[in-house]
Amino acid sequence: MSFPVSFSAAQRQALSVGWLRPHSARHYAIVPSLLLVAPLLAILAIGFLYPLTKLITLSFSGGPSATYGRFFTDPLYASVLGDTVGIAVAVTLSCVVAAYPVALVMARLKGRLALVIAACVFIPLWTSVLIRSYGWIVLLQRRGIVNSLLMSMNLTEEPLKLLYTQGAVVLAMTHVLLPFAILPIFSTLRLLPDDYVRAARNLGAGPIRAFLYVTLPLSLPGVFAGATMCFVLALGFYITPALVGGPGSMLMANLIGQQTTVLLDWPFAAALSTVLLVMTIVFIVVFRKTLSRSKGFSGVY
């Protein structure tokens, strides 16, 4: 291979070994590839890896017995962790159950009606979580719209306690996280060819059987993606449980906020954050490994 006379010996050697010259037209050379990836790696290191390392280091600053030992010996913190996981699971299930019919209708409709439904899904994403949480307070308080409607219909004689309950937290969080479940399921259903369902119908399957044996299994990757996103977001929710759940609904995010802003116990707050992070990773890995055995999940990631 011949090189221009102006090239130095080091440049010729680098080109000959392929550091600067790609092996084919479809692949970048090593040095240009590293230069292209370097800004992304720098942002990842500064914005994620460094704060995460500082967080884990801070959790050990007071000694493992003073932070992690306190968490594992006091049953209060285990109870808060259990409540957090339970609410996250309930919110995830309710989001998936409510999102699938909406995503199915969005995937099958066309024209203006499909745009109207899509707008109803996207508009809540443009609204602040704080505003939506206050909206549920207006609806569920003792003299709110729901209680006033129930009493006006003579269904109840006195206002029901709807606000500051676990059910109110699950309902409000489901409303906030519902678009994050609808969109992945919709994107999966939109890509499914109609020929599969049509072939099942031609072979004698009814609409319900065709849905259960064709549409549902093929849409499981979107269901899994939406469920994972909702579960991870629900584990770290702070504003909605604090407003709708009140002091009686203490989740891990609220506990961490209390340790940092009220008690100023930063090492213990870092330990709580690390435990929540590790538990989230473990749940995602176990959830994915368990459900990936199903044929419908083979295409996830």
pLDDT tens figures, 212-244? 888 888 888 889 889 989 999 999 888 888 889
What is the pLDDT at residue 2? 52
DSSP 47: I
Query: What local confidence, expressed as pLDDT, does residue 118 receive?
Result: 82
pLDDT at 88: 93
What integer pLDDT is reported at residue 8 of this predicted model?
59
Answer for the pair 225, 187: CB distance below 8 angstroms, yes or no. no
At 204, the amino acid letter reads G
In the chain the domains, ranked by start, together with CATH numbers, are 70-297 (1.10.3720.10)
Closest CA to 288 of 275, 278, 276, 300: 300
Asked if residue 151 has pLDDT above 70, the reply is yes
Decide if pLDDT at 300 tops 50.
no
Q: Token digits for 48? A: 């994620």
Contacts 24+ apart (CB under 8 A), 99-102: 99/178, 99/181, 99/182, 99/185, 99/226, 100/185, 100/219, 100/223, 102/182, 102/186
Per-residue confidence (pLDDT) for residue 9, from 0 to 100: 59
- The pLDDT-based confidence of 173 (bands split at 50, 70, 90) is very high
194, 215 Cβ separation under 8 angstroms: no
Q: Taking the C-alpha atoms of 171, 175, 177 and 182 in order, what is their torsion angle to the nearest 10 degrees?
A: 120
Structure tokens at 130: 């704080």
Per-residue confidence at 296, pLDDT binned at 50, 70, 90? very low
C-alpha dist (Å) from residue 23 to 7, 9, 27: 20, 20, 7
CA–CA distances in Å: residue 240 to residues 75, 130, 139, 181, 265: 25, 7, 14, 18, 23
Is the pLDDT assigned to residue 111 strictly greater than 60? yes
- Contact status, residue 232 vs residue 284, Cβ threshold 8 Å: yes
Confidence of residue 3 (pLDDT cuts 50, 70, 90): very low
Please give the average per-residue pLDDT across 16-39, as a whole number: 66
- Residue-level pLDDT at 97: 94
- Beta carbons within 8 Å of 98's beta carbon, 6+ residues apart: 174, 178, 181
Do residues 142 and 163 lie in contact, with contact meaning Cβ atoms separated by under 8 Å?
yes
59: phi then psi, degrees, rounded to nearest 5? -65, -20
Mean pLDDT over all residues of the chain?
83
Assign 299 a pLDDT band (cuts: 50, 70, 90). very low
Asked whether the predicted pLDDT for residue 301 surpasses 90, the reply is: no
pTM: 0.79
* pLDDT at res. 298: 47
- Whole-angstrom distance, CA of residue 32 vs CA of residue 15: 12
Tokens of 201: 């119908």
